[in-house]
Amino acid sequence: MSQGKKRGMGILSDDKQAERGQLIELLTKAYWKEIETVMSYTANSINPDGVRAREVIDSLEQDIQEELGHSQLFGKRIKELYGTVPGSLDFKPEQSFLQPPDDNMDIVHVIKGVIEAENGGIEHYNKIIEFADEHGDPVTADMVTTILADEEGHKRLFEGFLREYERDS
């Protein structure tokens, strides 16, 4: 019965349905994080006033494209694991810290919000990598590792901005 013999298919094995379900849940949360980040970074790249905001705006504009790319990668992986990318009605916002500040000159508020958003991503993506490694899904682990590297870069860049603002204030 070579046809029916159990084959080692990693996360796509028949007996890994429960783990696939858990991964799809983790990936869906990641997908929404990226989508919300696109929304928040878009607003915060348009609203700020002042010459000094320019660098932050330029960085956010670039990040928006990267975060959108991340959301597409998470969506594709959800599908590959036999899940469905959710529709917009399932969206629940979480980024209270990235709402527009009362004062459009308040760039420090934006910088701190970005760092918090990146920290949230970094925390969640480390969790996904750990789960994927543990349950035989090197493809998800590899993909999310690459995305994690981007988020660590974003975090570091904005920490640099914050240092400069705090030194000058």
- Applying CB under 5 A, among 154, 157, 158, 161 the residue interacting with Fe ion is 154
Q: How far apart are CA 146 and CA 129, in angstroms?
A: 10
If one asks whether residue 19 binds Fe ion (CB under 5 A), the answer comes out as no
In whole angstroms, how close is the CB of 114 to Fe ion at the nearest point? Answer: 8
Four-point Cα dihedral 19, 22, 27, 30, nearest 10: -140
Distances (CA, A) of 60 to 19, 54, 93, 142, 156: 35, 10, 19, 25, 13
Which C-beta is closer to Fe ion: that of 23 or that of 38?
A: 38
In whole angstroms, how close is the CB of 91 to Fe ion at the nearest point? Answer: 16
* Interacting span for Fe ion (CB under 5 A) from 8-16, 104-112, 122-130, 149-157: 149-157
In whole angstroms, how close is the CB of 156 to Fe ion at the nearest point? Answer: 11
Read off the tokens for 78. 């959800």
If one asks whether residue 151 binds Fe ion (CB under 5 A), the answer comes out as yes
* Site residues (CB under 5 A) for Fe ion, limited to 40-99: 67, 70
In whole angstroms, how close is the CB of 6 to Fe ion at the nearest point? Answer: 37
Closest CA to 77 of 20, 121, 131, 130: 20
Q: How far apart are CA 162 and CA 168, in angstroms?
A: 10
**Footprint of Fe ion (CB under 5 A):** 34, 67, 70, 151, 154
